[in-house]
A and B are shown apart, each in its own frame.
Chain A
Amino acid sequence: MSEAPASSSALLSFNNVSMTFDDGTKALDNVSFGINAGEFVTVVGPSGCGKSTLLRIASNLEANTGGTCSIDRNSIGYVFQDATLMPWRTVARNVELIAELHKLPKAERHQLAAAAIELVGLSGFEDKYPRQLSGGMRMRASLARSLVMKPKVFLFDEPFGALDEITRERLNDELLRLFQHEGFAGLFITHSITEAVYMSTKVLVMSARPGKIIAEFDVPFAYPRNHDLRYEPEFGELCGKISHALRGAHQ
């Protein structure tokens, strides 16, 4: 299988990145790929293969032990597996948080937060506390919080994994709309092949630990995508191929 050479114009590029943890666990082995503006790349792979480690390296939460990762670290949006909202803050104050940590003036961050809240469809819920929201709405608030700073690269660590399928599909559409509207580049981690194909311009398949890229699939469907796309034969065929590659990854 060929690995994509990281292009020099990429917003995010991994060059022969390896990661060995302190306890000797080898999580990543020579991973190379790049993401350009306008690309939405999804990584699928077996549990514990190091997919999330890719995001942690890109965002500098972990330091890679081999190779290089280049990214503009001042312009990253990071969406965690859970919404990580502060329960003591209302939706509006939660969405403001990142702008607040960057010490933006109050008036400006109010304005940015209000715009982001509208963008994710949470208008009218500004004064609710997280405990009053459903899982899907919490994730919307979490997305809005990252959108405030208009990052060029968005890292998604299985953000919809804990949601029911209907909510997940709805949020897939919302996220795609934001992707087109905001024009960020995306690196998305998921277990779901359908989600991967539906969202992405490109799907990468990782092997079991130590993770390496063992297959790469371009997704040819044009945006905007309609949710019925999931039931088209070409869509199913591509999912089948990826599933096949994943089966190989598990061995």
Chain B
Amino acid sequence: MSASSPISSPVEDVIPDKRDKFSFADYLGPVVVFLVFIGVWYLLSSVVLPEQKRFLLPTPHKVIKEGFFVWQSGERRGLQPILMSLWDSAKVALLGLGITIVIGMSLAVLMSSSRWLERATWPYLVAVQSAPVLALTPLIRALIDGTQTQRLLVVVLIAIFPIVSNTLFGLLSADKSQHELFTLQGASKWTRLVKLQFPAALPNIFVGLRISAGLAVIGAVVGDFYFRQGGVVGIGAQIDVYRNRLWGPELITAIILASALGLVVFLFFGWVSRRAIGKWHIINRGH
């Protein structure tokens, strides 16, 4: 080859995109599981449970009829009050999740920059993660004023661990040679964080976000149980009332809607994740 010859183009082929195509089987799975779930539910509520205890688990059609299709009955029964409390809890869960993300990611950045700080903080994060929050409620009530703040604190305590651990793991996942590339150009710590460590951490950050989002909903429901005041109460408090008064259809309706909230938040972050990193992040399923 001579120096003046035209530039040869690489013959090595571009690896084709293997995007998942729409497949009927992908949607069949969830439908089958749903039908099995409904079947087991009917079995439990009409066969397994003894007659006098069937009020604990009303049949699906009874839940739909009395839980979903009654708009309002008295002060607390019906779909309208359930949706109101769900919205109240959703606000706490989302605001709490926002606070959790800011605190959790900042903490992970600090921990990634200092081995000392990482070692100093880690055991206590694990402790917070495993501490039974209900045992802390008297302390929280004594230390913090305001139901809203108390509820937010519960959300943060319950949801923070996956954000911190996944972000930290991601920030530390960049290759040694990629780091050396930055070292060779005399890059600052900040440049390294923004242009190397943070993008490298994104797949892990999204895993953490999806887990924490679900936990934030749980945290909001748990917070409702322990910290409530007059007026509109959260879905957790509503569930507590239905449980005490043995209002089966309303209880199940509230539980289903609370789970649906968790599912929606989870799916939302999955969608954001695909938008943000789907183009370059490779998922290896091993087959």
Contact = CB atoms under 8 A, between A and B. Distances in A.
A15 interface: no
A118 B280 contact: no
Contact of B185 (A80, A101, A135): A101
A123 B7 CA distance: 10
A78 interface: yes
A122 interface: yes
B279 A177 contact: no
A37 B238 CA distance: 80
A177 B177 contact: no
B202 A88 contact: yes
B282 interface: yes
Contacts of A244: none
Nearest to A164: B12
Contacts of A65: none
Interface string A143-174: 00000000000000000000000010010011
Interface in A167-192: 167, 170, 173-174, 176-177, 180-181
Interface in A193-231: 223-224, 226-227
B175 A84 contact: yes
A224 B280 contact: no
A84 B177 contact: yes
B177 A137 contact: no
A61 B184 contact: yes
Interface stretch (A20-28, A105-113, A125-133): A125-133
B183 A101 contact: no
Interface string B10-25: 1111110100000000
B256 interface: no
B114 interface: no
A78 B186 CA distance: 13
Nearest to B182: A101
A88 B279 CA distance: 8
A98 interface: yes
B180 A80 contact: yes
B244 interface: no
Contacts of A177: 1, 3, 5
B32 to A, nearest CB: 33
Contacts of A129: 279-280
B15 A84 contact: no
A86 interface: yes
A136 B8 CA distance: 13
Contacts of B9: 121, 123-124
Contacts of B270: none
Given A61-B180, A121-B8, 11 more contacts: A80-B180, A84-B181, A122-B10, A129-B279, A132-B17, A134-B12, A135-B12, A167-B12, A180-B3, A224-B1, A224-B2
8 contacts: A61-B184, A81-B177, A84-B181, A122-B10, A131-B282, A132-B14, A135-B12, A137-B12
